[in-house]
């Protein structure tokens, strides 16, 4: 019997003549032609759905088939067809193998330790050559007035950079970096891969031109056996093979990105980014919003300082010297590609080992760090090749965050756009907390290296600070658009109470301001998959297992904290920075009432020393009921969120607030001061129609907190069904970043078309 050879998928031919695809899902079987095209999570061109051929629906077997009476001719034709298909497959595989060899050889020439060593010893040459490579032939814009690269070495580097590819040296990283972009198979602009990630992935799998990948060859064997075994069903097989053949010829186009024609290059710049660095909500946002934007099809990068020796990022080899306060400071750019996002870490001794003290040091230390960071970040699209290709300035929007990066839109304007460069690049500025502004005496202007006429952007007068230098003010004026993290807060910052002296500027910029409520990372903050709930007696749980999982977490938390193991007693949690904003003093005033109730209370936080001391004192005074955990512990934050019944957030102001969102995901009921994002996200419980998500109080006073908490405790004790309803409604919400990312996209697009 003639062998049908090998097929790249499993053909299971049932006796009655139907042919099933190897894999099907609820949407029906799919087929993706075997193309070599690197795409997000799409190795070797296999579709995101896996390698699954699409067949037509099985048709009813006719009588002839049933009898198995198929002519020899038909059978031969069947085999011939199959051979053709196989020949096509083999040719494609050969091409793949050749491409792989090419990429592997380029890769090994790039990752050459010897050359790295030499480069490290000769930073000047290395810088110019690698940076040259990274520009990929784009013209690197020269900095002009107020140039921060004023030392001769640096300016010569910039000059060299501007020469572009013509000066590229002929070997090593630069050549690879340049050429790889050209040589790689068609690069999907909307799903870029980091070069190292891509190369590693490809080169680690060995494949010979005459050898099939294992995942194929095993399928092929089965296919052969199956087809041989059931070859008497020839006609049916023939018709299906015809289908396959024509399907293979018509390539299935990749699905369009969610962002459609709006796909852009987006660079989010933040001073902290979870999981590497985090002191609060900004870190969470910087770690998760970019991934949601990438899921929409944008090419997204995050730029953040490198505070420690993180495992993932690799030295990109790009170095640059910046002047800060008259001193030359060398910066190295590290990078990683994770979850569809390019993460670029700015390494420099100024940032090293500051991970647990990001805002530490005196005012000048902090200012210099921010100046350096913004100078280095604004150049990343020219310097750091991601996936072999720099982002460049076309179709590019920066997202700066809070005062720490508010210099970025100013530098973009002063160094580039005022000089006719990066004309199409935009910068939006996100306000996470307007209370921190980068204030100082007007003389601080000399540290930011800007032309004199820029002083007016920074100069501000207010009754509290008098005339002063204000970085946030300058950023808000220079930004193309401004976003803040809830609708409520967008309104509050226009008032004199909520604007902290910047309300006039905000009001003048009202046309470019929008409130977008933060989302949350539903992988990280999800009781079903939470990695911090897999040990010490905790357990993962979902809506279905809430009634067993949450009590187990509560017991584990009580045990871990050394509190009495009492399932019936309401366990109240607080997590947050210990400062005026978070209203810890309101809790302090409410403590006597709280300990008079049959409750347990755990407070986790760091910040002001007097407030830290207060937490310790609460615990000392009420050891059987209160725990004051002074410290920053992500694990404990997750465990409190899971184990507590109630989360308190009496914040005086709260731009958005993430803890109440996390709490609701975990079936923990928030009791919050109805302000800013808390008012936007916690609809008050209405017992009459069983709606709402928690309890709110309308002014930052401890008696109001007591009143709201009292109602909450009553419901917890007396109205179990209502309580379960609150938990269920909270957990059912879609709090993911996807909706918010769509709104950010609208802002990005508005900024892009704005002149
Ligand atoms: N001691 C501790 N140990 C472990 N984890 C701790 C911790 N203290 C705080 N956290 C964590 O830090 C984050 C705090 O986020 P928030 O949004 O509540 O506040 P923050 O005021 O920092 O953020 C600002 O920016 C965010 C993002 O835009 C806005 O939501 C917010 O209103 C605004 O004030 C949460 O992930 C929380 O679990």
**What per-residue confidence (pLDDT) applies to 85?**
63
pLDDT exceeds cutoff 50 at 109? no
Average pLDDT over residues 412-434: 96
Nearest CA to ligand 1 atom 15: 281
What's the complex ipTM?
0.99
Give the Å distance between the CA of 213 and the centre of ligand 1: 47
Nearest to 126 by CA among 83, 201, 177, 67: 177
Q: Is the pLDDT of residue 271 over 80?
A: yes
Distance 521 CA to ligand 1 centre (A): 13
pLDDT of residue 675: 98
- Residue 242: band (very low, low, confident or very high) from pLDDT cuts 50, 70, 90: low
Q: Which pLDDT does position 163 carry in this prediction?
A: 29
Position 331 scores a pLDDT of 97
pLDDT band at residue 261 using 50, 70 and 90 as cut-offs: confident
What is the chain's mean pLDDT, rounded?
77
Q: Provide φ and ψ at 595, rounded to 5°.
A: -75, -10
CA of 585 to the centre of ligand 1 (A): 17
Output the residue whose Cα is nearest ligand 1's atom 11.
Answer: 280
What number is the average pLDDT over the span 424-444?
97
d(CA 656, ligand 1 centre) in Å: 9
| Count of C-beta atoms within a 10 Å radius of residue 698 | 12
pLDDT of the residue at 194: 35
Average pLDDT over residues 319-344: 97
pLDDT at 248 over 60: no
CB-based contact 419:372 (threshold 8 Å)? no
CA gap 527, 529 in Å, rounded: 6
Half-sphere exposure of 366 (CA within 13 A, CB side): 17
Confidence of residue 185 (pLDDT cuts 50, 70, 90): very low
Q: Bridge-partner residues for 396, per DSSP?
A: 265
Are 380 and 392 in contact by the 8 Å Cβ rule? The answer is no
Burial call 667-689: b when 16+ CB within 10 Å, e when fewer = bbbbbbbbbbbbbbbbebbeeee
Atom of ligand 1 nearest to the CA of 629: 1
**Confidence (pLDDT) at 127:** 28
Probe residue for ligand 1, chosen from 270, 275, 278, 280 as the CB with the greatest number of ligand atoms within 8 Å: 280
* Residue 138 pLDDT class (50, 70, 90 cuts): very low
Q: Is the pLDDT of residue 748 over 70?
A: yes
**Residue to mutate (ligand 1; options 277, 483, 576; most atoms within 8 A of CB):** 576
User: Which residues does ligand 1 sit against, CB inside 6 Å?
Assistant: 280-282, 284-285, 432-433, 485, 518, 575-577, 604-606, 632-634, 637, 654-659, 677
Answer whether residue 374 shows pLDDT above 60: yes
Ligand 1 atom with the shortest distance to the CA of 577: 8
pLDDT, residue 107, reads: 52
Q: Binning pLDDT at 50, 70 and 90, where does residue 356 land?
A: confident
pLDDT tens digits, 522-540: 999 999 999 999 999 999 9
Structure tokens at 653: 């102001």
* pLDDT tier at 257, thresholds 50, 70, 90: confident
Largest CA distance in the chain: 98
Angle at 315 between CA 309 and CA 317, to 5 degrees: 150
Query: Lowest-confidence range among 247-251, 376-380, 652-656, 738-742?
Result: 247-251
CA of 652 to the centre of ligand 1 (A): 14
Indicate the pLDDT class of residue 177, thresholds 50, 70 and 90. Answer: very low
489 Cα nearest atom in ligand 1: 32
| Sequential DSSP letters for 665-700 | HTT-EEEEE--HHHHHH-PBPBTTTTB-SBEEESSS
Compute, in angstroms, the gap from residue 654 CA to the centroid of ligand 1.
Answer: 10
76 neighbors 233 (Cβ within 8 angstroms): no
Q: H/E element holding 175?
A: helix 172-183
Please give the pLDDT value at position 754: 85
Give the pLDDT confidence of 563-618 residue by residue, as tens digits: 999 999 999 999 999 999 999 999 999 999 999 999 999 999 999 999 999 999 99
Q: How far is the CA of 678 from the centre of ligand 1 (A)?
A: 13
- pLDDT of amino acid 94: 66
Residue 115 has what pLDDT? Answer: 37
Task: List CB contacts of 477: < 8 A, sequence separation 6 or more.
Answer: 457, 505, 509
pLDDT value at position 260? 83
Strands 439-440 and 426-431: unpaired
What would the pLDDT profile of 8-22 be if each residue is shown by its tens digit?
Answer: 333 333 333 333 233
User: What is the pLDDT at residue 355?
Assistant: 87
Whether omega for the bond prior to residue 275 falls within 30 degrees of 0, making it cis, is yes
Q: Are 380 and 268 in contact (CB under 8 A)?
A: no
Q: Residue whose CA is closest, atom 12 of ligand 1?
A: 280
Question: Using CA atoms in the order 369, 373, 374, 375, what is the torsion angle rounded to 10 degrees?
Answer: 100
pLDDT at 1 over 50: no
Cα(159) to ligand 1 centroid in Å equals 43
Compute the distance between CA of residue 508 and CA of residue 567 in angstroms, rounded to an integer.
Answer: 54
Return the higher-pLDDT residue of 469 and 65: 469
What is the model's pTM?
A: 0.72
- In this prediction, residue 394 carries a pLDDT of 85
Pair 570, 668: CB distance under 8 Å? no
Task: Give the pLDDT confidence score for residue 135 in this predicted structure.
Answer: 33
pLDDT in tens, 284-330: 999 999 999 999 999 999 999 999 999 999 999 999 999 999 999 99
pLDDT of residue 130: 33
Nearest alpha carbon, ligand 1 atom 9: 576
pLDDT digits (tens, 9 = 90+) for 53-79: 232 333 333 333 333 444 566 667 666
Atom of ligand 1 nearest to the CA of 274: 36
pLDDT band at 678 (very low <50, low <70, confident <90, very high): very high
> 100-131: string of b/e by CB count within 10 Å (b at 16+)?
beebbebbeebbbeebbeebeeeeeebbbbbb
Task: Locate the ligand 1 atom nearest the alpha carbon of residue 641 and give its number.
Answer: 38
Cα of 506 vs centre of ligand 1, distance in Å, is: 24
Residue nearest to atom 31 of ligand 1 (CA): 657
Does pLDDT of 406 surpass 70?
Answer: yes
Give 436 or 24, the one with higher predicted confidence: 436
What's residue 380's pLDDT? 97
Closest Cα partner for 683 from 730, 626, 743, 647? 730
What is the CA(667)–ligand 1 centre distance, in A? Answer: 19
Give the confidence band of 631 by pLDDT, cuts at 50, 70, 90: very high
- Confidence band (pLDDT; 50, 70, 90) for 231? very low
CA 423/CA 394 separation, integer angstroms:
9
Nearest ligand 1 atom to alpha carbon 649: 18
In whole angstroms, give the CA distance from residue 632 to residue 575: 10
Of the CA atoms within 13 Å of residue 286, those in its CB half-sphere come to 34
Distance between start and end Cα atoms, the chain: 73
Spacing, Cα 285 to ligand 1 middle (Å): 10
């Amino acid at each position: 019997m003639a062998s049908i050879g090998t097929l790249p998928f499993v053909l299971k031919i049932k006796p009655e003549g139907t042919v099933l695809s190897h894999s099907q899902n609820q949407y029906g079987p799919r087929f993706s032609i075997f193309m070599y095209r690197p795409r997000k999570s799409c190795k070797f061109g296999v579709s995101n759905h896996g390698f699954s051929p699409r067949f037509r629906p099985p048709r009813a077997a006719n009588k002839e088939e049933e009898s198995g009476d198929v002519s020899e001719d038909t059978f031969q034709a069947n085999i011939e067809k199959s051979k053709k298909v196989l020949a096509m497959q083999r040719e494609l595989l050969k091409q793949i193998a050749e491409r792989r060899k090419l990429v592997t050889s380029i890769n090994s020439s790039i990752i050459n330790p010897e050359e790295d060593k030499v480069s490290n010893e000769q930073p000047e040459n290395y810088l110019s050559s690698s940076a040259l490579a990274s520009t990929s032939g784009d013209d690197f814009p020269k900095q002009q007035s107020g140039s921060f690269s004023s030392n001769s070495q640096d300016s010569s580097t910039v000059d060299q950079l501007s020469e572009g590819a013509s000066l590229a040296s002929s070997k090593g990283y630069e050549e690879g970096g340049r050429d790889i972009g050209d040589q790689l198979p068609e690069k999907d602009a909307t799903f870029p891969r980091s070069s190292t990630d891509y190369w590693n992935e490809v080169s680690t799998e060995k494949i010979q031109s005459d050898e099939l990948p294992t995942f194929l060859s095993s399928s092929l064997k089965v296919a052969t056996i199956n087809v041989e075994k059931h070859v008497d069903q020839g006609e049916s097989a023939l018709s299906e093979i015809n289908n396959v053949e024509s399907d293979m010829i018509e390539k299935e186009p990749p699905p369009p990105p969610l962002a459609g024609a709006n796909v852009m290059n987006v660079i989010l710049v933040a001073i902290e980014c979870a999981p590497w660095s985090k002191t609060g909500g900004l870190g969470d946002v910087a770690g998760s919003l970019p991934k949601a934007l990438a899921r929409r099809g944008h090419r997204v990068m995050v730029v953040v300082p490198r505070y420690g020796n993180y495992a993932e990022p690799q030295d990109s080899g790009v170095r640059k010297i910046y002047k800060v306060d008259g001193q030359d400071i060398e910066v190295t750019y590290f990078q990683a590609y994770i979850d569809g996002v390019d993460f670029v870490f700015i390494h420099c001794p100024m940032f090293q080992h500051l991970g647990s003290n990001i805002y530490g040091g005196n005012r000048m230390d902090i200012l210099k760090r921010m100046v350096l960071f913004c100078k280095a970040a604004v150049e990343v699209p020219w310097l750091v090749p991601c996936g072999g290709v720099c982002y460049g300035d076309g179709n590019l929007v920066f997202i700066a965050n809070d005062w720490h990066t508010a210099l970025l839109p100013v530098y973009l304007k002063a160094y580039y756009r005022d000089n006719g460069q990066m004309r199409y690049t935009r910068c939006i500025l996100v306000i996470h907390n307007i209370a921190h502004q980068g204030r100082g005496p007007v003389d601080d202007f000399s540290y930011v290296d800007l032309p004199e006429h820029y002083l007016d952007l920074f100069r501000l007068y207010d009754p509290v600070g008098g005339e002063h230098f204000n970085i946030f003010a300058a950023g808000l004026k220079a930004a193309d658009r401004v976003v803040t993290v809830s609708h409520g807060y967008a309104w509050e910052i226009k008032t004199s109470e909520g604007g902290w002296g910047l309300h006039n500027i905000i009001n003048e910029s009202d046309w470019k301001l929008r409130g977008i409520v933060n989302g949350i990372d539903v992988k990280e903050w999800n009781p079903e998959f939470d990695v911090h709930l897999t040990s010490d007696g905790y357990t993962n749980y979902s809506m279905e297992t809430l009634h067993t999982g949450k009590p187990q977490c509560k017991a584990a938390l009580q045990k871990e904290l050394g509190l009495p193991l009492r399932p019936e007693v309401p366990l109240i949690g607080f997590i947050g920075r210990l400062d005026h904003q978070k209203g810890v003093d309101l809790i302090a005033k409410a403590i006597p009432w709280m300990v008079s109730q049959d409750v347990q209370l755990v407070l986790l936080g760091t910040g002001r020393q007097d407030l830290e001391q207060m937490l310790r004192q609460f615990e000392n005074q009420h050891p059987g009921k209160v725990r004051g955990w002074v410290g920053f512990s992500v694990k404990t934050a997750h465990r409190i969120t899971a184990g507590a019944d109630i989360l308190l957030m009496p914040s005086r102001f709260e731009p958005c607030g993430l803890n109440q969102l996390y709490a609701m995901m975990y079936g923990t009921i928030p009791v919050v001061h109805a302000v800013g994002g808390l008012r936007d996200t916690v609809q008050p419980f209405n017992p009459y129609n069983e709606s709402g998500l928690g309890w709110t109080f309308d002014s930052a006073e401890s008696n109001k907190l007591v009143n709201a908490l009292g109602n909450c405790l009553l419901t917890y004790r007396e109205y179990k069904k209502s309580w379960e309803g609150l938990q269920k409604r909270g957990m059912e919400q879609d709090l993911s970043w996807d909706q918010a990312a769509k709104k950010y996209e609208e802002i990005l697009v508005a900024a892009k078309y704005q002149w």
